[in-house]
Structure 1
Amino acid sequence: MVSHSGLLTVMERAARKAAPRLRRDFNEVQHLQVSRKGPADFVSMADKRAEETIVEELRKARPDWSILAEEGGEIKGDPDKPRWIVDPLDGTSNFLHGIPHFAISIAVEDPHGSQGKPEITHGLIYQPLTDESFWAEKGRGAWLTDQRLRVSARRDLADSLIATGIPFLGHGNFAQWSRIFGAVAPEVAGIRRLGAASLDLAWVAAGRFDGFWESDLQPWDVAAGYILIKEAGGFVTDFRGQDMAMQRNQFLAANDALHSKLHKLVANALR
């Protein structure tokens, strides 16, 4: 069994403590009548309850750290200490529709990273229904429980399966996405949109997907996935190929060979 650091133990404990309730709520939401109010309100409650459990566990372990969480926003702590970045339920629309594809995402951001800039040092993405725990620690690789992860070794776009997030009501840039899709789709073996960015990124790290692009993401969507892909040997940049660690507006990830090819297609599409 691979041992991870005390910090990852804290993150794993927090995620696993929130998971049984999410599993229960998920089984219940499948039976709720799908009306505007009922299920959506129910899911936001599931979201908030999961976040409360996770935040409580994290604060117990590191009371002086800041927390950036999707539901509760920023909880201030010591600015010189790291901060937690938490998404208690990524894939809310899937959850609401009874689709069993969602995750808990927790990351640690060190304000004084290697170049004196904020840097993600730990990430955990936990899928409560499959009990898959994807985790990474700076310099120690990316793992699925105790199995080492590597990004896909494919070199040709024609063999590659690429994940994305499609803009929807009030979110994202349809024109930009359509241009990228028009450039990428004819060159690849398939494009998938599964509806939970954190799991898409974990799956890139695990080599299940060969690449990923999306824009308009929030820090809690990508923080844990970012370090997973980097530690699994992948590349993460914005659409222009800049290594903008947490550039939320644009996210392009793949192995070295595919990344340069995808980047070329995307950059040309956006000219």
Structure 2
Amino acid sequence: MNSSTHPSISTARHLAEHAAAHADDDGALLAAVVAAVRAAGAHMLARFDAETRTPNDLQGVVAAIYDNDAASLAVARELLETARPHAGWVDDELEGGALPDGEWWVFDAVEGNVNHVHGLTAWGISATLVRDNVPALTAVYEPVADRLYTAVRGSGAAYVNGVPMRPSTKTELKAAIVTTGQAKPGETPDTYRRMGQSVTSMLNAALVVRMTVPATFELGMVAAGQIEGFWQYTDVRSGLAAGALLVSEAGGIVTDTQGHPWTLASEDFLASAPGVHGEAVRALSLVA
């Protein structure tokens, strides 16, 4: 890895060092995180080919996913650890649950990796700093669209390409677009049952139901008011921490599917525009 291969690496390293020198400045830290996800995104974009077709067996698909993860980590991990040397590190995109107290980087090396290796464009890089189990700041970069989401906890704003986002003002679920997705392969039969029941319930309650991955991109659209809600039966951390912060800082509502406050320890997840949240909880409460 060198600056001629990755032109933004030297700038990203400078920003990371600046952030480390100003440890109490979340603005400086966010700039370093943005530089890191952009650098990793540029590297992964160079590896991306819309004409790509993966091997025909699961072993080949998994190998391609692992290769992508390693390539992204080779760019971003050093930058993020330089910016916050004392923060812990989590990059298992399928891991869930609460973390020990303190600061942790929750990093998804290629969010939507399965899309990347199949030549689909919905993939990106996300990095979220979690403090005492609460997402504190995040940057999510979609290289193909050149779309960047950012948020800092307590700022009262979340941004896409520097423009403040606001959730939808709809007040009827029957007029809403809602979405869900499969967080990971190999879920339990009970999780699959709940997913199926929830889709049926939402089909009866909402205007349109979509199913896709990755979760963070859907949550970015909830924050931006393009769709009204997203739910998921999982505690997969990397797919929810960034999006939860985007939605909540934009002015949306983030809970579990029963309407209780969401935490990293929650077993499921719901984020929505304020005007449809109650109806969404009622629809999902029908799931046994």
In structure 2, which of residues 150, 159, 166 is the aligned counterpart of residue 135 of structure 1? 150
Residues in 2 aligned to 1:36 and 1:29: alpha-carbon distance in whole angstroms: 19
Q: C-alpha offsets along residues 66-123 of structure 1, whole Å, 9 cap, x if unaligned?
A: 11112698xxxxx775221111111122112111101211111112xxxxxx321111
| 1:145 correspondence with 2:161 | yes
1:165 aligns with 2:181: yes
Taking only aligned residues, the RMSD between alpha carbons, in angstroms, comes to: 2.3
Letter in 1 for 2:269: F
Equivalence for 2:112: 91
* Equivalent residue, structure 1, for 2:233: 215
Amino acid paired to 1:84: W
Q: Deviations over 1:191-244 (max 9, x none)?
A: 112211111111111111210011124111111111100001111111121102
Residue 154, structure 1, aligned to residue 170, structure 2: yes
> Which residue type is aligned with residue 134 of structure 2?
E
After TM superposition, the score normalised by the length of structure 2 is 0.82
SS of 1:219's partner is coil
The alignment's TM-score, normalised by the length of structure 1, stands at 0.87
> How far does residue 166 in structure 1 lie from its aligned partner after superposition?
3.6
Q: What is the CA deviation profile of residues 11-59 of structure 1, one whole-angstrom value per residue up to 9, with x for unaligned ones? A: 1111011112211222187155544444531231111220232111011
Letter in 2 for 1:258: V
Q: Tell me what 2:252 maps to.
A: 234
In the aligned structure 2, how far is the partner of 1:61 from the partner of 1:166?
A: 33
- For 1:19 and 1:168, locate their aligned partners in 2 and report how far apart those are by CA, in whole Å: 22
Q: 1:115 aligns to what?
A: none
Counterpart-to-counterpart distance in 1, 2:225 and 2:265: 23
Matches within 5 A, 1:64-75: 64-70=86-92
Query: How many angstroms apart in 1 are the aligned matches of 2:136 and 2:276?
Result: 25
Determine the C-alpha separation between the residues in 2 that align with 1:182 and 1:37. Answer: 33
Residue in 2 that maps onto 1:30: 52
Q: Distance in 1 between matches of 2:286 and 2:53?
A: 46
Q: Which consecutive residues of structure 2, in runs of 5 or more, have no partner in the other structure?
A: 1-25
Change in 2 beyond 3 A, CA 1:17/1:177: same
Q: Confirm or deny: 8 A CA contact 1:236 1:245 kept in the other structure.
A: no
Alignment counterpart, residue 62 of structure 1, candidates 84, 88, 107: 84
SS in 2 for 1:162: strand
Percentage of identical aligned residues: 24
Partner of 1:105: 126
Structure 1: any 5+ residue segments left out of the alignment?
74-78, 112-117
